[in-house]
Every structure is written in structure tokens, then in C-alpha cells.
């Protein structure tokens, strides 16, 4: 009851936050105030000298900054004018400081692989031609200057593909450059690359990757092209960049005076409609939950089996196998999950075509196997040596002793921990968005970036995680009860036996 109450408070607090009139008119006015900026876009470098006392707050998704601004976490944020145009449509209370913070030139980054040289020259040629024939200006007007978030679409088909597939990393939650519309990827970047692909005989395959992961992913050769890379000196050193394909001013967004004229309940209703029914977004949530469930369940099964097999090999007492196992336990346990996944995705499986989903399964299976080994070790060690000796002394073989005497008792010790590990695993899977997997959390991010609404996507996602957790723990609990010998009935213990009177 208390929890529900807290949730309600949060729910009402977000839309009710009071907007105060702006006190900022120049960039210098913001000195000493917090300014939000998107991770890895480096816009802060443009104004750093003019606001020396300012702390910059970094956000992964552009639309999270709107929430940060309206809830008072930052006093302004930096964003391209084009994106601001879109945001302003949904949040009329936003306004900008008149002087632009600077201008950015966006390029594409080309992957470090065998296609690099060819793609670079083809893309530069295409960009040059497009500036020449006005295509880029046309696209800019269509997607940016005159953007209609609901009706604007682009053609993401009709590829001849005679020159093969190119993998393209886009943010995916970044209107109007790349976003999910009606269940399809869309936007300026997407339209531009699709036109390029058609012109040069490629079939593009799009991956939604967080901004900060685009450049590393492309540099490792995982993707052929990464979109929307802002030019900076450092980037040019490490990456191979194409020519500029658009230029746009950077704005400092602050809160203005305008307020929404909708009532609270109208806002809530609109928010609900936007989150779930517009463009059939509920399907995205269902798909995301499916991916999360797939990764979790597969990882639990594979991890459990793998952990068990490795434990049995270690049990034989082979020193080398034990050393190797301990090394991997140390390595995998000592690493943040995101890092392990990124290493697997970009380095270990960097050159393979394994999808992010299956890389996640590999990563989480490894992690779960490590936990499984630990659980088996702790559980079996908790069973005194006497049990093992007694069974050996009776004449049980080593394997019989383990499976008939030790394991059933150890299981009672480690299954409650196992249940917790399952819960942990479900929650940990929420980071797979980093390697372009559209799981529940990532879907929630993408929907939020389209709707500019935080409440329903976040709450719904939380509820779905709760439900998944409840289902899986229930299953483990059933197994637990099933193998608890002490729950058996007398009749079962003496099944098929004529009892003495």
C-alpha cells in the first residue's frame, strides 16, 4: 500500500511540476547553473569557456533532458536546433536563448573493415552529388525545417542489394534523425542512407545503438556506417569520417512561460494514448518483453547446464581445470555486466555476424554459469564430508554418491540463492540496449523518445519486469518444492510396499 502511494506521488509530481518564468537571456547568465548535454556529442565544448563555473550533466537520450529541465535537475540543455523544433511541438513551455551556442557539422563514420575505402569514396561522392543537386537541402527541409512527427515517412525498401548488405548504426531514439515510427525505423539519417544504398546497390540493415556506442562499434568494424557523428579533432584522429552531410545550429533550451492548456486528466489521457495506442506502440512493448524473456530464459538454461558441467569437471580435482575455472570466475564476476557484453559484442564476436540478442545470451549464460558454479560449490561444501564418506563406505560409487546423496541435499541449500540469481539476471538484462538489442528497457527508451512522456513507459516497463520476475521465481519455487524430500507424503515414500501390520 505504501509503495502504491509512493508511485502515485511520483505520477502526479511529474505533470504537476510548476514552470517558472525564465531568468536567462544570454549564455553567460547560465554560468554556475547546471546544463544538460547528450553524452558523446561534445556540444559542451562550444560554450565551456563562456560558462566556466557550470557543471554539465550528461544524458544518454535527448528527451531525458526535457524531463531533467522540467523537473529542475538542470537549468538548460544543449541540443541541435532541429531536435528542439520537434521537442517544442510536444512541449510548448520550452524556449531557447537567442544566441546559438555554436554550429555543428554532422558526418558519417565509416567502419574499420574491408569495405571501408570503397564505402568512404562512394559516400563522399554521394554527399557531394547531393549537395550539388539539392537533395540534402530537400531532405533538410522535409525532415528538419518542416518536420511532421506523425506523417513524415521515408522509403526503407526497394533495394537492389547487388553489392551486398551494409550495417548502419543509428541512435533510434533521436527525432528527427532516427526514430521508430509505426514500428519502422525512420528519420533524416535513415532516409539519407536508404537513398545512398539505392544509388549504390546496397541493402542497409539498421541497428539502434546508444550514441556513445556508435563510434566505438563502428571503429571496431562491427558496423559499416555510423550516423550523425559530430566533427571534432579527436574523432578525426581515430575514426574515418565522411564529408559533412548537414549543418545545424546548437541551441540552449530553457523553460519559457507557455503552459499547456490541457487539464491534468486530459494530459494523462493523451499521454496514455500516445504511449500505447498511437502507431500500435503496445506491440513494441510486447516484442521487447519477448526479447527480455528469450534472453533470460535461454541464459538461465544454458548457464545452469554449463555451470553444472564445469562444476562436475572441477569436482574431479583436476588442478588445471580448476585454475582455468577460477580465473574465469574471477574475470567474469569482477566485470560490470555492460562491459562484459560490450567486450563480447565488439571484440570477441566483433567480426562474426552473431546478433546482439545472441551475444547477450552468451554473456548472460557465462555470468549465470559462474554463479551456478559458485552456488554448487557453496551448496556441496555445506554438506558435511561425513555424508560423502558414509555413502562411499556403503559402496556407492563416486557419481552415485554425488547424485543420490550430496546433490539433493546441496540443492536445498543453493536453490533459494538460485532464485535470487534469476531475479538478478532478469534485471541485469536491461543493459542489453547497449549492444543494439531491442529489449524491454530499450523499447521503453525508444517510446519515450517519441512521445516525450516518461510516466507510462517507465511504469509499464517496471510492471512488466515485476511480472517476468514473478513468473520465473514461481517456476524455480515449484522446482524447489518438488525436490524437497521433506514435503513428500508417507504414501509416496513407501510406494509399492506392502506395509506390515
Partner 1 sequence: MIEIRHLRKVFDDDTIPLKDIDITINDGDVIAVIGPSGTGKSTLLRCINMLTEPTSGSIIVDGQDITARGCNLNEIRKKMGMVFQSFNLFGHLTIIENIMNPQITLLGRSRQEAYDKAMYLLKQVGLASKVFAYPEELSGGQQQRIAIARTLAMDPDIILFDEPTSALDPSMIGEVQSVIKMLAKSGRTMMIVTHEMDFARKISNRVLFMYDGYILEEGTPKEIFEHPKNEITKRFIQRLSSLTYRIKSADFDMEAMNDELSAYGEKLLIEAVRLTKLSLAFEEIVMNNIVPNTEGEPDVLVKVEYSEKMDILTMMVYYKGEVFDVHSSDSTLFLDLLAEPTTECKAEELEGDALGYEHMIAIKFKWAEEA
CB 178 within 8 A of CB 190: yes
Helix, strand, coil in percent for the chain, rounding step 5: 60, 15, 25
Closest CB to partner 1 among residues 145, 394: 394
- DSSP state letter for 76: E
For residue 492, the minimal CB distance to partner 1 (Å) is 11
Name the 3-class secondary structure at 174: strand
Closest CB to partner 1 among residues 31, 412: 412
Contact map string, positions 204 to 223, toward partner 1, x by CB under 8 A: --------------------
The residues facing 179 across adjacent strands are 173, 186
Phi, psi of 35 (to 5 degrees): -125, 130
Contact map string, positions 378 to 397, toward partner 1, x by CB under 8 A: -----xx-xx-xxxxxxxxx
- Classify residue 418 by burial, with Cβ atoms within 10 Å: 0-12, 13-18, 19+: buried
Chain-centroid distance, C-alpha 240: 26
For residue 422, the minimal CB distance to partner 1 (Å) is 23
Closest CB to partner 1 among residues 155, 398: 398
Q: What is the CA radius of gyration of the chain?
A: 28
Antiparallel, parallel or unpaired: β 35-38 and 76-80: parallel
- Is residue 334 near partner 1 by the rule CB under 8 A? no
C-alpha cell at 7: 508511485
For residue 397, the minimal CB distance to partner 1 (Å) is 5
Return the range that interacts with partner 1 (CB under 8 A); candidates 73-81, 110-118, 176-184, 406-414: 406-414
Closest CB to partner 1 among residues 121, 400: 400
Name the 3-class secondary structure at 247: strand
DSSP code string of 452-464: ---HHHHHHHHHH
- Is residue 482 near partner 1 by the rule CB under 8 A? no
Return the range that interacts with partner 1 (CB under 8 A); candidates 114-122, 282-290, 322-330, 402-410: 402-410
Instruction: Give the sheet arrangement for strand 178-181, strand by strand.
Output: 173-174, 178-181, 184-186
Return the range that interacts with partner 1 (CB under 8 A); candidates 15-23, 297-305, 408-416, 430-438: 408-416
DSSP code string of 303-338: HHHHHHHHHHHHHTT-HHHHHHHHHHHHHHHTS-HH
Residue count at the site for partner 1 (CB under 8 A)? 30
- Is residue 405 near partner 1 by the rule CB under 8 A? yes
Count of beta carbons in the 10 Å neighbourhood of residue 69: 24
- Is residue 498 near partner 1 by the rule CB under 8 A? yes
CB 437 within 8 A of CB 446: no
- Is residue 182 near partner 1 by the rule CB under 8 A? no
Closest CB to partner 1 among residues 262, 390: 390
Closest CB to partner 1 among residues 39, 397: 397
Closest CB to partner 1 among residues 236, 485: 485
Closest CB to partner 1 among residues 150, 483: 483
Closest CB to partner 1 among residues 387, 424: 387
Among 232, 322, 409, 473, indicate the residue that binds partner 1 (CB under 8 A): 409
Q: Which residue has the cell 552529388?
A: 129
For residue 410, the minimal CB distance to partner 1 (Å) is 10
Q: How far apart are CA 430 and CA 426, in angstroms?
A: 7
Count of beta carbons in the 10 Å neighbourhood of residue 155: 11
Return the range that interacts with partner 1 (CB under 8 A); candidates 207-215, 294-302, 331-339, 404-412: 404-412
Closest CB to partner 1 among residues 141, 398: 398
For residue 276, the minimal CB distance to partner 1 (Å) is 49
Binding stretches for partner 1 (CB under 8 A) = 383-384, 386-387, 389-397, 400, 404-405, 408-409, 412, 485-486, 490, 493-500
Amino acid at each position: 500500500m505504501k509503495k502504491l502511494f509512493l508511485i502515485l506521488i511520483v505520477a502526479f509530481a511529474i505533470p504537476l511540476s510548476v514552470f517558472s518564468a525564465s531568468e536567462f537571456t544570454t549564455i553567460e547568465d547560465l554560468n554556475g547553473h547546471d546544463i544538460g548535454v547528450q553524452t558523446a556529442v561534445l556540444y559542451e565544448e562550444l560554450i565551456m569557456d563562456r560558462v566556466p563555473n557550470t557543471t554539465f550533466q550528461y544524458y544518454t537520450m535527448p528527451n531525458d533532458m526535457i524531463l531533467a529541465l522540467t523537473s529542475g535537475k538542470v537549468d538548460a540543455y544543449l541540443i541541435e536546433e532541429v531536435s528542439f523544433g520537434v521537442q517544442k511541438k510536444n512541449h510548448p513551455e520550452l524556449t531557447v536563448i537567442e544566441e546559438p551556442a555554436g554550429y555543428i557539422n554532422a558526418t558519417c563514420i565509416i567502419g574499420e573493415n574491408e569495405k571501408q575505402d570503397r564505402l568512404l569514396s562512394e559516400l563522399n561522392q554521394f554527399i557531394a552529388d547531393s549537395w550539388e543537386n539539392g537533395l540534402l537541402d530537400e531532405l533538410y527541409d522535409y525532415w528538419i525545417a518542416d518536420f511532421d512527427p506523425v506523417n513524415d515517412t521515408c522509403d526503407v525498401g526497394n533495394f537492389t542489394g547487388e553489392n551486398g548488405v551494409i550495417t548502419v548504426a543509428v541512435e533510434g531514439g533521436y527525432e528527427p534523425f532516427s526514430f521508430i515510427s509505426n514500428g519502422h525505423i525512420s528519420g533524416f539519417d535513415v532516409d539519407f542512407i536508404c537513398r545512398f544504398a539505392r544509388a549504390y546497390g546496397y541493402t542497409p540493415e539498421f541497428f539502434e545503438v546508444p550514441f556513445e556506442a556508435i563510434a566505438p562499434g563502428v571503429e571496431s568494424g562491427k558496423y559499416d556506417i555510423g550516423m550523425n557523428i559530430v566533427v571534432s579533432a579527436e574523432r578525426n584522429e581515430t575514426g574515418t569520417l565522411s564529408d559533412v552531410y548537414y549543418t545545424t545550429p546548437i541551441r540552449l533550451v530553457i523553460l519559457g512561460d507557455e503552459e499547456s492548456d490541457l487539464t491534468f486528466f486530459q494530459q494523462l489521457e493523451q499521454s496514455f494514448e500516445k504511449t500505447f495506442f498511437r502507431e500500435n506502440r503496445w506491440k513494441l512493448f510486447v516484442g521487447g518483453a519477448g526479447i527480455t524473456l528469450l534472453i533470460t530464459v535461454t541464459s538461465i538454461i544454458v548457464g545452469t547446464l554449463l555451470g553444472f558441467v564445469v562444476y562436475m569437471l572441477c569436482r574431479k580435482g583436476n588442478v588445471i581445470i580448476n585454475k582455468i575455472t577460477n580465473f574465469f570466475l574471477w574475470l567474469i564476476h569482477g566485470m560490470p555486466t555492460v562491459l562484459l557484453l560490450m567486450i563480447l559484442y565488439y571484440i570477441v564476436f566483433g567480426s562474426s555476424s552473431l546478433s546482439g540478442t545472441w551475444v547477450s545470451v552468451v554473456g548472460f549464460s557465462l555470468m549465470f554459469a559462474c554463479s551456478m558454479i559458485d552456488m554448487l560449490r557453496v551448496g556441496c561444501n555445506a554438506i558435511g564430508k561425513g555424508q560423502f564418506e558414509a555413502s562411499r563406505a556403503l559402496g556407492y560409487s563416486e557419481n552415485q554418491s554425488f547424485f543420490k546423496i550430496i546433490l539433493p541435499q546441496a540443492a536445498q541449500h543453493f536453490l533459494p540463492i538460485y532464485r535470487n540469481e534469476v531475479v538478478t539476471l532478469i534485471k541485469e538484462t536491461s543493459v542489453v540496449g547497449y549492444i543494439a538489442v531491442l529489449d524491454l528497457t530499450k523499447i521503453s527508451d525508444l517510446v519515450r523518445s517519441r512521445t516525450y512522456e516518461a510516466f507510462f513507459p517507465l511504469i509499464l516497463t517496471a510492471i512488466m519486469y515485476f511480472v517476468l520476475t514473478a513468473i520465473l521465481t514461481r517456476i524455480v519455487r515449484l522446482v524447489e518444492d518438488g525436490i524437497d524430500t521433506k514435503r513428500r507424503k508417507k504414501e509416496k515414500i513407501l510406494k509399492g510396499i506392502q506395509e506390515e501390520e
